[in-house]
Amino acid sequence: MKDNGMKDSTTNQKINRIEPTKEKITGRGGLALFVRYLEAIGIYKRIEDCFGSMRKSAKGLGIKKIFKQLFCFFMDGESFHMLRFDELAKDDSYAATIETRMRDMASSHTMKRFFEAFDFVRIWQFRKLLQELFIWRMQLESPKMVILNLDTMVMDNDDAKKREGVKPTYKKVKGFQPLQLSWNNHIVDAVFRSGDKHSNNGDTAAKMVSHVVKRIRKRYSEGVPIILRCDSGFFSGDNLEAFEGMGIGYICSGKMLPDIRMFLDEIPLTEYGSITNGQQEWLFYDFGDRRGCWKRFRRAIHCSPVMDENQVVMEFARPDTIIYTNIGVDKEITEKLVEIGEGSLLDASSILRFSHDRGADELVNRALKEFGTEQLPFKRFESNAAFYYIMLLSFFLYECFKKDVAADLTAPQCYPSTFRRKMIDIGAKIIRTSGMIIMKVNRALFNRLNLDVIWTRCNSPPVFAFG
């Protein structure tokens, strides 16, 4: 090879050493967008109304400053230990990113004292706030039908030592098992409970649904049809009767009891219908059933898979299911569905498809666990409850931010880890010049994310209306 006397052009590209700098450089530039969004929607005014009384002295941090740092703590997601706040309190770049002075950065001790101040009365405020946020989003999206999903979520704290409420769960781990009500990608209400509280413990589920239904009727629409989906853990005559009394539709998985099995064995296959979804096929039979303690017959649909990914499912291996519903039977909910043009939902095949969609609802729990943590940090039950509810609140606001600001950059079902890589983990430099604070990012990144458009959206989102 001929030597032209020129040096290798890559020599000057090598890094020879690493030095510290006093410049404010951050790897979490996207948090600045999130902070600006929270300020613009007006969430802090409502938070002050709910929790402002917790501040006992003017010397301590204000409630807004604490909640802002907690929201960023969960959105960041790097660590969920309280000691993380001590690390952040020493990081002037992080403080500048979330628009907070260094002296206002909370330490781990500050946060521990904050969570220790919670009692059950204050914890109830979180549920009210979640429901108000839910109504706000409904008013923005104006759905013609409201679909709610009722479920529990096991939080594995198996290695916890002497924590109040950590009890054995049905998943054979010790932890907590909160009851949650979700709509789309949002958890709109929740009851934080110990691990031994099963799905249908007491009348908690019925009361939760009743509170949310009343709020929908009062704040959104008196006539909108509401449909509740839930699994067999909530199957009981008392629950079904309560749902019917609320004037809502329900699709609830039942239990394949011996007498039902005997009845279905007598039904010829010619009486069954079938539905398909891609490479899957199910047989179904629509009938009426009345359990011994029930006062009335209820619509039941037996479903049995016959094809799964182009493979025949042998009869002895079919996981039969039975679904109970009042759709097509209850006059009030049926008329409402017909009125909005959803009369096709009255068919058994449509109800089954609607029931199968409940699998997507359960992905909300998965996304929440990825966004936050199952391991709760405190020994005291009320403190862990407050931590859990702030995690829920942060998750709700994250979903709103994703939809209002970054809808064209991320898929609706984008998981938190993917969203953080795209929108939060942004390298940026924060400078002060001519009396202004400016965040600078790489030009290629600026253009790829359309950050000028994103910044405008962060400053002019839909305002959180409550009342």
CATH code at position 335: 3.90.350
Instruction: Spell out the residues 6+ positions from residue 120 whose beta carbon is closer than 8 angstroms to its own.
Output: 382
Which of 340, 368, 396 is where one domain is finished? 368
Structure tokens, 125? 């405020």
> Distance (Å, rounded) from C-alpha 304 to C-alpha 286?
12
Are residues 166 and 39 part of one domain? no
Is residue 7 a part of any domain in this protein? no
pLDDT in the model for residue 60: 79
Domain match, 128 and 103 both: no
pLDDT of the residue at 300: 92
Amino acid at 81: H
Q: 342: buried, middle or exposed (CB in 10 Å: 19+, 13-18, 0-12)?
A: middle
Q: Does any domain span residue 16?
A: no
Q: What is d(CA 83, CA 284) in angstroms, rounded to the nearest whole number?
A: 55
Same-domain status, 309 and 264: yes
Indicate whether 169 belongs to any domain.
yes
Strand boundaries in 11-141, DSSP class E: 24-26
Residue identified by tokens 């009210």 is 128
- The 10 Å Cβ neighbour count of residue 350 is 16
How far, in Å, CA of 66 to CA of 146, rounded?
34
pLDDT given for residue 199 in this prediction: 87
Q: Roughly how many angstroms between the first and final C-alpha of the chain, as a whole number? A: 79
Q: For residue 160, which phi and psi values (nearest 5 degrees)?
A: -70, 145
Together in a domain, 171 and 287: yes
Assess whether 329 and 359 both reside in one domain: yes
Q: Which segments within 290-433 are labelled E, that is strand?
A: 298-308, 311-312, 321-325, 428-433
Closest CA to 430 of 18, 146, 95: 95
Q: What type of residue is 389?
A: Y
pLDDT by residue, tens only, the chain of 467 residues: 455 555 555 557 888 888 888 888 889 999 999 999 999 999 999 999 999 888 777 777 899 999 999 999 999 999 999 999 999 999 999 999 999 999 999 999 999 999 999 998 899 999 999 999 999 999 999 999 999 999 999 999 988 777 888 898 888 889 999 999 999 899 999 999 999 998 888 899 999 999 999 999 999 999 999 999 998 889 999 999 999 999 999 999 988 888 888 888 888 888 888 877 766 777 888 999 998 888 889 999 988 877 555 555 545 445 678 999 999 888 889 989 998 888 888 888 888 888 877 777 778 999 999 999 999 999 999 999 999 999 999 999 999 999 999 888 877 778 899 999 999 999 999 999 888 999 999 999 999 999 999 999 999 999 997 76
Flag whether 373 is in a domain. Answer: no
* Calpha distance 295→241 (Å, rounded): 9
* Domain annotation covers residue 465: no
What is the C-alpha to C-alpha distance for residues 68 and 43, in angstroms, rounded to an integer?
10
Question: Among the three residues 310, 345, 368, which one is the final residue of a domain in this structure?
Answer: 368
Q: Are the beta carbons of 18 and 24 closer than 8 angstroms?
A: no
Closest CA to 439 of 448, 452, 453, 449: 452
**Degrees (nearest 5) of the Cα angle 409, 45, 47?**
85
Closest listed residue to residue 308, CA positions, set 255, 347, 365, 356: 356
CA–CA distance, 117 with 383 (Å, rounded to integer): 8
What is the SS3 assignment for 445-456?
HHHHCCHHHHHH
Residues 6+ apart with CB under 8 A from 100: 65, 68, 69
According to the model, what pLDDT value does residue 9 have? 54
CA distance 423 to 28: 9
Please say whether the dihedral angle defined by the alpha carbons of residues 363, 366, 372 and 378, taken in this order, is positive or negative.
positive
Q: Is residue 214 part of a domain?
A: yes
Check whether residue 220 and residue 253 sit in a common domain: yes
Helices and strands: H and E segment counts in the chain = 18, 16
Place of tokens 């391991």: 375
pLDDT of residue 13: 81
Question: Is residue 5 domain-resident?
Answer: no
Name the token pair of 45: 């005014």
CB-side neighbour CA atoms (13 Å) of 158: 7
> What is residue 117's DSSP assignment?
T
| Count of the separate structural domains present in the chain | 2
Q: pTM for this one?
A: 0.91
Residue type, 95: A
Let me know whether 207 and 114 are in one domain. Answer: no
Query: Which structural domain range is residue 142 located in?
Result: 120-368
* Region at 358 (left for phi over 0; alpha for psi -120 to 50; beta for the rest): alpha
**Are residue 67 and residue 207 in the same domain, yes or no?**
no
- Judgement on whether residues 357 and 399 belong to the same structural domain of the protein: no
Across the chain, which distance is largest between two alpha carbons, in Å? 98
68 with 135, same domain: the answer is no
**186 and 312 together in one domain:** yes
Domain boundary at 368, 397, 415, which?
Answer: 368
Same domain, 145 and 169: yes
Q: 353 in a domain, yes or no?
A: yes
